[in-house]
Chain A
Amino acid sequence: MKYVSYIFATFMTIAMLLIFINMEQWIKITVKLPFMKVDPWLSGGEVVDSVITDSSRIYIHETANPGLFPDKTKQMVQYDFYGVVNDSIIETIIDKKQDDVIKSSKTKDHQIIRVYRFM
């Protein structure tokens, strides 16, 4: 038994190195786990629809609800805008009643708009 323990302890050094040497393989395995996705409230969630025009592309994400047990009184929808974005698109298509909370962020190639609705 003690020799098994010593051999196992020796292998721990190899195991420690393999964690880093083989990291790409570990990542490939880990990302397939069911929980390996950022919560939609933080990431916007998956794209469920799109609107393509001559000057822009709009990708619409799934509706996200916050909370461990999703709170249906709060909703957020993320829009990814590629191309020309102006205020009238936001007012006429997204926030018609102009009572939503809007957060906007520009990345290198597109604009993210998050519309938060509290009911």
Chain B
Amino acid sequence: MKTNLYSTGNKLRSILLSLPMVLICMLMLSRGLTGQLTDTISYVATVIFYSFFFFMMLYKGSIDKWRAIAFVTSAIFFAISFMHNLIDLRGSVTYSDEEVMSCEIPFCHIVTTMVLIPMAIKQTIIFPGSIESGFASISSMLVIVFGSSIILGRGFCSWGCFYGGWDDGFSRLTRKPFIKRVNLAYRWFAFAMLIVMALWSASTMMPEYCSWLCPFKLVTERDEIVDTETLLKNIVMIIMFLGLVVVLPLLTKKRIQCATFCPMGAFESLFNKISIFHVVNNESKCIKCGKCQNVCPMLAISKDNKPLINCAKCGRCVDECPTGAMQYHIKGTPIGKRFTVARILFLYPAYSLMVTLIGGSMMDAINLIFKSLI
């Protein structure tokens, strides 16, 4: 019954509403085309992939399930593409002192939280990357981070972050959680991490989260093991990935890394205050069943069933709410009216971010797989 609230119910209407997204996919993914046959096949496959899941979100009326399939797949293909490009460029996925000294390290969006204080005080960026050229330059990533955060707020974590898909994916593998209750207070730990990481990095003028704690180095690039320190960093990285990204999400069915640890997620939460899109609880329909609290993977629903500042706008509570009280909403409009319109107006920029930020890597990865098979 709940899916009928949001389902367009009508195949033709869903197709018509999906057409703009098909055009967006075709336009934004065409930027990487070279004219080779494998490129064209990858392009068509990627456009069909993303268009299909957008159509299903509209036709079936449930966002989270179809979003997650696209999101998790994108994260895996991003890792394949990224690591392959590193091996092509450097011969390995590790970086050595040479790459650091030459400022050739791609800038990751999580680093944003660590560079802010030195940016403000010393007017420099504490990251050995390229300012304006090459892959993932500092300027391009800062534009993407701030631009998309102003538009979507923490929706970046559910629609754009190419690391979040790992956490999201592992949290869905088990049918039921083995640890049924997760203390909701843990959500604030991510904010503590944000402050600690920002201050620690400012004091040492090094991106310390990247150096020591980031679990996602396992699926991107990591330190070359040359001494005890780099060995320790790699061990910590593996422990963090297995613990926060694999085991705890499997046991709790929550996105533990994203919800409780990631400083970037906490930083993105602050943009929820600016973003015009948010998830609200229409109290006139709420029956206080608490289902939204149980299903929220980000521990972002309060005890009185209201979405909190750390809501990542994944849509799971919206899908699971039995009465349709949880809804996407546009600030400045009445709650409860035209919620389907709000939902669709949110989906367009959110899904566009996924297609544009990660879709290119998916296309690249499909291309690599094709070439290896031929």
Contact = CB atoms under 8 A, between A and B. Distances in A.
A86 to B, nearest CB: 20
A36 B101 contact: no
Contacts of B331: 5
Contact of A27 (B129, B143, B277, B348): B143
B262 to A, nearest CB: 22
B131 interface: yes
B124 to A, nearest CB: 4
Interface size class of A (residues with CB under 8 A): 35 or more
B202 A68 contact: yes
Interface-centre pick from A6, A34, A42 (highest chain B CB count, 10 A): A42
A37 B129 CA distance: 10
Interface string A5-18: 11011101101110
B100 interface: yes
A4 B332 contact: yes
B140 interface: yes
B349 interface: yes
Interface string A35-59: 1111111111000000000000000
A19 B144 contact: yes
Contacts of B202: 68
Contacts of A5: 276, 330-333
A30 B205 contact: no
A80 B276 CA distance: 50
Interface in B80-127: 97-98, 100-103, 117-127
Given A6-B333, A16-B349, A43 B341 contact: no
A20 B28 contact: yes
B98 A19 contact: no
B270 interface: no
Contacts, number: 140
Given A13-B349, A30-B142, A68-B122, A41 B101 contact: no
B353 interface: yes
B40 interface: no
B151 interface: yes
Given A6-B330, A31-B131, A43-B103, A23 B143 contact: yes
B195 interface: no
A97 interface: no
Contacts of B349: 12-13, 15-16
Contact of B140 (A27, A66, A68, A114): A27
A115 to B, nearest CB: 13
B143 A16 contact: no
A39 B126 CA distance: 5
A11 to B, nearest CB: 9
B238 interface: no
Contacts of B101: 44, 103, 105, 112, 114
Contacts of B128: 38, 42-43
B354 to A, nearest CB: 10
B102 A9 contact: no
Nearest to A5: B332
A36 to B, nearest CB: 6
Contact of A38 (B129, B147, B345, B352): B129
Contacts of A1: 332
26 contacts: A1-B332, A5-B276, A8-B276, A9-B277, A13-B345, A15-B349, A19-B147, A20-B144, A23-B140, A26-B143, A27-B139, A30-B143, A34-B123, A36-B131, A37-B124, A37-B125, A38-B127, A38-B129, A39-B118, A39-B124, A41-B205, A42-B103, A103-B97, A106-B98, A107-B98, A112-B102
Interface of B: 24, 27-28, 97-98, 100-103, 117-129, 131-132, 137-140, 142-144, 147-148, 151-152, 202-203, 205, 276-277, 330-334, 341-342, 345-346, 348-349, 352-353, 356-357
Given A44-B101, A103-B97, 13 more contacts: A2-B332, A5-B333, A6-B330, A9-B276, A9-B345, A12-B349, A13-B352, A15-B147, A20-B357, A21-B28, A27-B139, A35-B120, A68-B202
